[in-house]
Structure 1
Amino acid sequence: MPESPDPVRSVPSRSSGAPASNVRDPGYGTSGDGVRARLVAHDPPECPVVDALPDGTVATDVRAITLDDVTIEQFRVEGPIPSDGSAPAAPVFEVDGARVYRRQVEPRDACPYRTIESLGYPVADATVRTNPDRLRVTVHLPTVEPLGGIVDAVESTGATVTLDRLTHSGDHERADPVVVDRRRLTDRQREVLCAAWRLGYFSYPREASAEEVAEAVGIARSTFAEHLAAAQRRMIGVVVDGGTDAIGHDG
């Protein structure tokens, strides 16, 4: 299915960290509004399987389950990996040069898996790449609304999160996907752009003036105009030039 671009507004702000029992059902069972989100956590403090992999290795089909005080991790790599380390992985299956490994480790409370699933959203699949460490996960959501809370929760663990791809139910060939890396913007540019969108500066008819947005951010109108223009140039440049895959390969 074609993927849709990552608009800046596609990750709405929302409080995070609530346990699954406190998450309000956002509408399971509805049709037409579902999304598939592919997120990349950069340098997560407790990334699964990283310490079992050589630098530059890509592990796919990464899974983790926790039973009592033990976490079992399973992943797939092309070729063998070293068996040394504090928590070595043992191969459990091999075909055409690809091996499935499994190992037992201590529970990882800050792992993006546990963080996302604690909010009540199962992780559909995951890929890990080492040096630099990146964890790419896919989640299916009934609407786009929970996405902001998921991103905030993972970032609260110390990782930096980017929205790699976003697919809406019913997307057809009209889609022309572009990956938008929000790190292209400075913190101030993101703050200005998000405030302008939230207050309706881009709405038609316009719901907030430049002066009102600048006042909300706490900057002068001229400074607001400078930051907004710079952010728009960078975002338009991404759309025109295209984006790049954040994990290192597509799939």
Structure 2
Amino acid sequence: MARRVAFVNNKGGVGKSTTTVRLAEGLAKEGKRVLVVDMDPQGNASSMLGWFYDSERPQPTISQAIKADTEGAARSVVQPIGWEAPYAERIALAPAILTLENRMAEAGVDGAWRRLDTALEGVDDSFDYTLLDCPPSVFHLTQLALAAAHDVVIVTEADIYAVEAAERMRDFVTVRARRNLANPTLELRGVVINALTTTAVQAEQRDSIRRIFGDLVWDPTIKHRTTLAEAGTDALPLTSPRAAEPRASYELLTATFLVGRHAAQAMLAPGTPGAIV
């Protein structure tokens, strides 16, 4: 089975989908096979990876796999991504569209929170990592992901509301999810600070995040860059010369993901585009 990692926050717009997609890209460049499971009905991770729903020839999505509630149901959902890059063949996608919200109404069905885990049974055995992009909530769709995951990564911006939401998510994962979702070994693996600007207020919030979460905070911090947002909107990998800085930052973040925070810090020489701030 792949190591399954859920990317979460209780606030939207903090960059969960971007982090999921760019870490998938970084891992694929390192030779890892990655399955991205889009658990957000907005489908942002799906579109960033170059997948688009065709209403005339409907493709299966993760919603159908969850509804089926049978072992391995996600096998028919996994599809290639739309990028043209030498490593793109190592990334696969279980996409989402708005109909995923229909699964919310089934939260009260006995054992419903286990349906994603059941759907993925045997499906991600050939992958190194399964990355689960979660919606900005602690409700049923996120709980499906947490019940199936081994690890959790909180993505936040240096903003007071995002930080408060990150704390709520930390408490939900470490107390309620472990107990109520029968996943006692679920681990909070790290915290990613995303879209940092140069303002004094953001610097204060960044330092606050480091005080609150300590060694869980991953390096490097991801800075706000227009080229990163443009690549996501255009469904492109970070291969263009203009994307050199965010590309370097996510390569270093991938190193943190793979080898741990302190080992990755040693790789960050002064002047590196993704240098720690």
Report which of the two has the higher share of strand. 1
| Structure exhibiting the larger radius of gyration computed from Cα positions | 1
Report which of the two has the higher share of helix. 2
Q: Which has the higher contact order (CA 8 A, sep 6+)?
A: 1
Settle same-fold status: TM greater than 0.5: no
Taking structure 1 as the reference length, the TM-score comes to: 0.28
Taking structure 2 as the reference length, the TM-score comes to: 0.26
